[in-house]
Structure formats: structure tokens, C-alpha cells
Amino acid sequence: NLLRSGVIREATCTDISPGMVATLAGNARALGLEVQAARADAEALPFPDASFDLVLGHAVLHHLPDLRRAFAELHRVLAPGGRIAFAGEPSRVGDRLAAIPKRAATALAPAWRTLLRAAPARAPEPDGAGDPHDHGLERLVDIHAFAPAELAGHARNAGFTDVSVRGEELTANWFGWFNRALEASAGPEDVPVIWRQYAFHGYLWLQRLDETVLEPLLPPAIFYNLLLGARRP
């Protein structure tokens, strides 16, 4: 989106998975975008010092085993004055709060399926191997959840300045997890389109409520996601 809007002129996109890199490159070609796609380990980035003005990531940091090394690498490859911005990093408190609507949905799922005359979903494989869209591996690869001060501390300890952490998604997250947990309990073909539209538009409405009213007022720690920004001096 940044390339398409002209905000940035060049982009190098990375992932540790060769399959994801291939998918990324294919998506870029389909959109008519020229990007460099490379397999990379965030703890040992294959780029020279001061290579980039901006490093962006979504739902990345909480998967990295060695955050100290990863932040040191981010600092190294940024030019002076360059910035990092990471979104979608789970908040420790927010993650616990999200368990409440998940449990509620699990309890209500049988009645919900009866109302919709939906068959129960098949049980997923324990390791997620049964279906490429299963999420059984998440518990293995989701290594960290953060307190805001902890996430900011990782950036400061690596030498970044102008560090900021804010929260994102509260009511939208609760609504989303509740509905996703209900939907996951049924076969996809039995979930009606009108329900999916309700879930989608309800999520967007609550997301606007979070952004305009709740995020400026409430502490970041209670939100589901944290957003980190920082600058290399």
C-alpha cells in the first residue's frame, strides 16, 4: 500500500519462510509492484549497515526467540534518523482479557449451532498439519506477549530514541474473538452470509469506536495489540 500510494519508492520484503517469500513476490507481481523479496532471519539480517530508512513489521516481534539480537539488527541496518514501526504485537493483559469472550463463545457454541442448524466443525489436527488454514501451530510460534514498558525497553536498550508504544483494539477485539470462536465451532459452509456480514461490519464499527474514543483515554496495556515506533539517532 505504501508503494502504491507513493509514500515510499523502494521496498525490500522479507520472511524467514521460503514459501512466504514466494507468495509475497507473486502478490507483488500481480499488483504490478517492483519489490526485492528475500528470505531473512530477523536475528541475523543479510543487509549492510545503514541500508534502510524505514523498517515496518506486523505481528513479527512476538515470534522472535532472541529479541535483544533482533533489535540490535534493526538498529544496525537503519540509517541514522531511520525509524522502525511494528504493529500487531500482543499485549500480555489484553491477551488474557481476550480469553473471556473466547470462553463465552465456547460455552454458547452448541446453542448457536442449533439456532443456525449448523454441523459441528471437524476437530483440527493437534499440530495444525491437517489443513493449511488450521492454527494449531500458533501456540508453538507465539513466544512472547508484552507489557508496554517491556516492549519499549527492548527498543531503548538497542539504542533507539523517540520510543512510543500505544494500544490498539479493545471492544473490536472482544467482539471479533467471540464471533470467530463461534464460527470456528461450525462447518464453514453452515455459517450464513448474513452472519458474516454482521460480524464484519460490527467489527469495523467497534474498531472506529476504539480508535476515536478509547485508545486516547485508556492505558495501552489493556488493549489486545501494541504498536511500537522508534528512531535511530
Which among 93, 206, 74, 73 is positioned nearest to 146, based on CA atoms?
93
| Gap between the Cα atoms of 47 and 73, Å rounded | 9
Q: Please give the grid coordinates belonging to residue 88.
A: 500487531
- If one looks up domain 41-231 in CATH, what number appears? 3.40.50
Residue-wise pLDDT for 114-134, tens only, equals: 999 999 998 655 544 445 455
pLDDT number for residue 141: 80
The Cα-based distances of 83 to 30, 118, 160, 213, 220 in angstroms read: 29, 48, 9, 27, 21
- What confidence tier does 63 reach under pLDDT thresholds 50, 70, 90? very high
Could you write out the DSSP letters of every residue in 80-109?
EEEEEEEEEEEBHHHHHHHHHHHHHHHHHH
- Mean pLDDT over the full length of the chain: 92
Dihedral pair phi/psi, residue 226, rounded to 5°: -115, 145
pLDDT digits (tens, 9 = 90+) for 169-222: 999 999 999 999 999 999 999 999 999 999 999 999 999 999 999 999 999 999
CA 164 → CA 10, 153, 196, 226, 229, distances in Å?
A: 26, 10, 35, 10, 5
Handedness of CA 197, 198, 204, 207 (dihedral sign): negative
Q: What is the pLDDT of residue 129?
A: 47
Q: Give the number of C-alpha atoms closer than 13 A to the C-alpha of residue 44, restricted to the C-beta side.
A: 0
pLDDT at 1: 85
Which residue bears the cell 507465539? 142
List the chain domain ranges: 41-231
Whole-prediction pTM: 0.88
- DSSP 8-state secondary structure symbol assigned to residue 63: G
